[in-house]
Amino acid sequence: MNTFGEYALTTDPAMSLVLDIDMVAAQLGLVSMTTVNGSPTFPQLSALNGFANVNADLGPGTYNYAYLGGSTDTPPDSPAVVQPNSFSAAAGIPVGVQSSIWRYSPGLGVTAHWINSDGSEAETELVYISSADAFALVGDVAQFEVNFGPTQPCLVLSLVYHRITRNSVQ
């Protein structure tokens, strides 16, 4: 994590974030992903509503964004909920969060889906913002870049899958 409690880029495999997701449930709907080696206080890999946003909605025509950080679990299909999270703990600014944003499909892998305040699912792109050393979901990359500077697209969130059966002994 960076100093603002947002997940940052690493090229060191030993520092990679290890995640736990129920792949079957993630094919049926939005689920949370637990960080195995992340913050024990905020164990869910979550989208944290940007503190500079005009509202909690992502989409075309707006620069709004949501950084990836940690929180506790939030309800599936729910708009952002203001609750303790890694950014708020680091910066002292309360923001809305969503943890149940992850979906899996065999063709696309694991993707993030932000729920707007009206309950609609926003079209978003995952980007890396090198100036902030953070990942974010944005609804309009061009508008975001006009306001905050360049981003790098994350075409694929690099994941290494390990099959764990419920009856396996670890």
156 to 56, 108, 116, 126, 165: CA distances (angstroms) = 25, 9, 23, 9, 26
* Residue 152 backbone phi and psi in degrees, to 5: -120, 125
* Segments making up each domain of the chain, as ranges: 13-153
Q: Tell me: the pLDDT tens digits for 89-128?
A: 999 999 999 999 999 988 888 889 999 999 999 989 999 9
Looking at the predicted structure, is the pLDDT value of residue 164 above 70? no
pLDDT in tens, 122-146: 989 999 999 999 999 999 999 999 9
**Is the torsion defined by CA of 130, 133, 139, 143 positive or negative?**
negative
Predicted confidence (pLDDT) per residue in 70-86, tens digit: 999 999 899 999 999 99
